[in-house]
């Protein structure tokens, strides 16, 4: 395969993805995502927008220091201090890239930037020239390219390539383009920008009309060789092009595209779960590639066909994306070695102490649940990781009285420092009542920002996984809790957020390393 056939995967989960309302991750979480992206073979990781905040600067810096095989990019407006901040944050990166952007559409020039076309060309050239002094690898994005006048776009692209941009990205910033039109734009750029052969053409599509992936693929078909995308398609408004869909489309339809990526596709499921866990954005069951139902066949005719020959109804193998399936793996009589071996097959390696804890929880679950699936095991380990926060408050017991015509009443008993604390409370519902009781005991007043519940597997006895995001007097924390009882899962999730907050408050400094370790939102 020639070099031209490789499509470079530029992941922007940590920058554009994190810009999605409510998706913010703390530094420890960002680092974990960056490591997962590197493990899956992403070519470029856009780690953040260094000038935007101290937190963003530090995240990019941390990621730049740690990531060795992928390039690490930092975003900058066409402004001196942005480019300086990006250069500084990326100083220790093995493969740094500065990504500079400036809008080129008439509407942005007139209303947002209030600049003439000549001024825009000059600004773009000056920024790329400045960035090139700090970094050999510079990408330029004419923001809102798909709505820009083509002749002006060609002029800007030619000028920035001349100034040293190695990659020119063509954003469909507002998700306005249609696949045919966007593909043609790539062809037109190739035919009308004289020095285009000196740069890679990249694409960056938003999903406002649900066309981000289709547009990106149309661009690849017409010569683009870098795609900017995010895990699970998270991002501003309706999101960005979803990486897993792009990668699997290119792989599954190699006959059509004649291109491939360097992505280790078996890491897809795991990375998708990680991003979902940290952002609190659940993946829809019918989401292509990573949804829980993406490889499940319900209809008898389909099941029969798949059993006879999987390719009758499956165009991809679930194992190719690291989907573990719903096989019954372990039960009441399975021992610790069996658990360890199965977790290893799922890509999870635990040390001895972690394994002891996971085994205890596995046995507890076997008492409550007839069948234990791979998803249950993964959930146990993920829940345990959350618990690595020191449990200052532990749930001892919970009693709930609730029904159709009665006001819910609960009694919550928590333990802290060897002492038990009990409170009775009422509320709008049993979960609200529990949260009132917890607030009274802990003295923290929590405002629930987000609450989400989903079942880990199928069946009436499935475990419920609750994710909450809570604001405790300006300190925001995410919590996860699991149980076969959804009220208990809700209490555990809230307590997980309480414990993170207590730990961070204890360490006083909001942005101290300790707060970051505890997973607290700066
Ligand atoms: O959508 C967009 O135009 C962007 C640019 C900064 C590349 O995110
Ligand atoms: Zn974008």
Q: Hey, what's the torsion of the CAs at 154, 157, 162, 167, to 10 degrees?
A: -140
Token pair 């008492």: residue: 367
pLDDT of residue 324: 63
Q: Any idea which architecture 8-20+26-279 has in CATH? A: Alpha-Beta Barrel (3.20)
Q: What residue segments make up the domains of the chain, in order of their start?
A: 8-20+26-279, 291-320, 324-385, 394-506
Quick: pLDDT tens for 276-286. Answer: 988 888 899 89
Q: How confident is the model at residue 263 (pLDDT cuts 50, 70, 90)?
A: very high
- Which range is least confidently modeled, 131-135, 169-173, 231-235, 455-459? 455-459
The Cα diameter of the chain in Å comes to 75
Give residue 153 CA to ligand 2 midpoint distance, Å: 18
Tokens coding 221: 């078909």
Contacts of 84 (CB under 8 A, 6+ apart): 134
Which ligand 1 atom lies nearest to the CA of residue 19?
Answer: 8
Give which of 62, 71, 119 is closest to 94, Cα–Cα: 71
pLDDT of residue 30: 95
**Quick one: average pLDDT of 114-131?**
98
In percent, the amount of the chain with pLDDT more than 90 equals 64
pLDDT of residue 327: 47
Which ligand 1 atom lies nearest to the CA of residue 171?
Answer: 3
pLDDT of residue 287: 96
**Quick one: average pLDDT of 382-404?**
81
- Between 341 and 84, residue with greater pLDDT: 84
Q: Is the pLDDT of residue 243 over 90?
A: yes
**Quick one: average pLDDT of 116-144?**
98
pLDDT of residue 520: 34
CA atoms of 247 and 226, how far apart (whole Å): 12
Q: Who lines ligand 1 at CB under 6 A? A: 16, 101, 141, 143, 169, 171, 173, 204, 206
Q: Which residue's CA is the nearest one to ligand 1's atom 5?
A: 143
pLDDT of residue 325: 54
- Cβ atoms of 482 and 466 within 8 Å: the answer is yes
pLDDT of residue 521: 33
Give which of 17, 16, 40 is closest to 261, Cα–Cα: 40
- Which range is least confidently modeled, 6-10, 254-258, 261-265, 361-365? 361-365
- Ligand that lies nearest to the alpha carbon of residue 171, given by its number in the listed order: 1
Contacts of 275 (CB under 8 A, 6+ apart): 13, 17, 33, 231, 232, 234, 281
What does CATH list as the number for 394-506? 3.30.160.270
Q: How confident is the model at residue 482 (pLDDT cuts 50, 70, 90)?
A: confident
In three-state secondary structure terms, 210 is coil
**8-20+26-279 and 394-506 have identical folds:** no
- Mean confidence (pLDDT) of the chain: 89
Q: How confident is the model at residue 163 (pLDDT cuts 50, 70, 90)?
A: very high
**CA separation (Å) from 237 to 17, 105, 210, 227?**
10, 20, 11, 19
Give residue 147 CA to ligand 1 midpoint distance, Å: 13
Which ligand 1 atom lies nearest to the CA of residue 206?
Answer: 1
Q: Hey, what's the torsion of the CAs at 139, 145, 150, 153, to 10 degrees?
A: -30
pLDDT of residue 101: 98
**Quick one: average pLDDT of 489-500?**
91
**Quick one: average pLDDT of 281-301?**
86
- Between 467 and 242, residue with greater pLDDT: 242
């Amino acid at each position: 395969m020639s070099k031209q056939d490789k499509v470079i995967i530029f992941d922007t989960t940590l920058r554009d993805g994190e810009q999605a309302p409510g998706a913010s991750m703390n530094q420890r979480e960002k680092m974990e995502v960056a490591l997962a992206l590197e493990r899956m073979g992403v070519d470029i990781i856009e780690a953040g927008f260094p000038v935007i905040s101290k937190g963003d600067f530090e995240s990019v810096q941390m990621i730049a220091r740690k990531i060795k095989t992928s390039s690490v990019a930092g975003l900058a407006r066409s402004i001196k201090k942005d480019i300086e901040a990006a250069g500084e944050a990326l100083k220790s990166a093995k493969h740094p890239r500065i990504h500079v952007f400036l809008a080129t559409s008439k509407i942005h020039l007139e209303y947002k930037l209030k600049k003439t076309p000549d001024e825009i060309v000059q600004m773009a050239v000056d920024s790329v020239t400045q960035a090139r002094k700090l970094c050999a690898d510079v990408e330029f994005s004419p923001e809102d390219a798909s709505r820009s006048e083509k002749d002006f776009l060609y002029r800007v692209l030619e000028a920035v390539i001349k100034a040293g941009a190695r990659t020119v990205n063509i954003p469909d910033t507002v998700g306005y383009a249609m696949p045919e039109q966007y593909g043609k734009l790539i062809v037109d750029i190739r035919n009308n920008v004289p020095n285009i052969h000196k740069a890679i053409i990249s694409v960056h599509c938003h999903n406002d009309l649900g066309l981000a992936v289709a547009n990106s693929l149309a661009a690849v078909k017409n010569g683009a060789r870098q795609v900017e995308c995010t895990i699970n398609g998270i991002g501003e408004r309706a999101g960005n092009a979803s990486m897993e869909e792009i990668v699997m489309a290119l792989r599954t339809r190699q006959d059509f595209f004649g291109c491939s990526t360097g992505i280790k596709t078996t890491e897809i499921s795991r990375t998708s779960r990680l991003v979902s866990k940290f952002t609190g954005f659940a993946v829809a069951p019918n989401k292509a590639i990573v949804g829980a139902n993406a490889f499940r066949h319900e209809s008898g005719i389909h099941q029969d066909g798949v059993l006879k020959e999987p390719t009758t109804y499956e165009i991809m193998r679930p194992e190719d994306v690291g989907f573990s399936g719903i096989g019954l793996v372990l039960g009441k009589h399975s021992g610790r070695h069996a658990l360890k071996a199965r977790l290893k097959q799922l890509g999870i390696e635990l040390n001895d102490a972690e394994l002891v804890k996971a085994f205890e929880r596995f046995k507890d679950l076997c008492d409550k649940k007839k069948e234990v699936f791979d998803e249950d095991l993964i959930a146990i380990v993920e829940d345990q990781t959350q618990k690595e926060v020191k449990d200052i408050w532990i749930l001892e017991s919970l009693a709930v009285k609730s029904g159709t015509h009665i006001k819910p009443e609960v009694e919550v008993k928590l333990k802290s420092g060897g002492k038990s604390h009990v409170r009775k409370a009422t509320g709008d519902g049993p979960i609200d009542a529990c949260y009132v009781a917890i607030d009274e005991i802990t003295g923290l007043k929590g405002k629930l920002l987000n609450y989400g519940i989903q079942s880990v597997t199928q069946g009436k006895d499935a475990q419920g996984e609750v994710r909450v995001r809570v604001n405790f007097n300006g300190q925001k924390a995410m919590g996860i809790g699991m149980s076969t009882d959804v009220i208990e899962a809700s209490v555990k999730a809230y307590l997980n957020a309480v414990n993170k907050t207590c730990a961070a408050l204890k360490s006083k400094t909001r942005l101290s390393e300790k707060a970051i370790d505890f997973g607290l939102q700066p």
